[in-house]
Amino acid sequence: MLKPDADINNAAEQQSTESGEAATQHRIRLFGKHLPLPQSVWLRRILGGGLIVGGVFSFLPVLGVWMLPLGLIILSRDSSRIRRIRRKSEVGLLRRWREYRARKKAEKAEQQE
């Protein structure tokens, strides 16, 4: 079973070693689903870079801002610099989300009194 604090990059390795599969299978976990990635480093870099470039052109109808974080997640699989940026942004977003929820909960408690 995956730990709730497991990193996106380590989630696939933990799952693959538990199920007996080869640990070299590259996957990412998004919204509770495991998505396979290309086995080639160059294909992952092209895919991640393409998603980031597509995210820059988010004003076009088919492309969107959603492509930026997905491209960063794919690139973070092989790049320690991008992985560090991704982790810091995840921690910051989670911290803001928890502060927001605590503030809303306190406001709701004040209104009920």
Residue-wise burial string across 54-91, b where 16 or more C-beta atoms lie within 10 A, e elsewhere: bbeeeeeeeeeeebbbbbbbbbbbbbeebbeebeeeee
30 lies in the same domain as 44: no
Predicted TM-score (pTM) of this structure: 0.55
Query: How many domains does the chain contain in total?
Result: 2
- Do residues 6 and 46 share a domain? no
pLDDT of res. 72: 84
* Residues 24, 45 within the same domain: no
Q: How many CB atoms lie within 10 A of CB 51?
A: 20
- Verify that 59 and 30 share a domain, yes or no: no
Q: What is the pLDDT of residues 62-81, one digit of tens each?
A: 788 888 888 888 888 787 88
Expressed as residue numbers, the domain containing 55 is 40-112
Shared domain for 47 and 30, answered yes or no, is: no
27 and 49 part of one domain: no
Are both 13 and 48 inside the same structural domain?
Answer: no
**Same domain, residue pair 30 and 49:** no
Residue-wise pLDDT for 24-62, tens only, equals: 677 777 677 777 777 777 888 888 888 888 888 888 877
Give kind and range of the element (H or E) at residue 51: helix 41-56
Same domain (yes/no): 63, 99:
yes
Cβ density class 2-11: b for 16+ within 10 Å, e for less: eeeeeebbeb
- Residue written as token pair 């988010």: 58
Do 85 and 102 lie in one domain? The reply is: yes
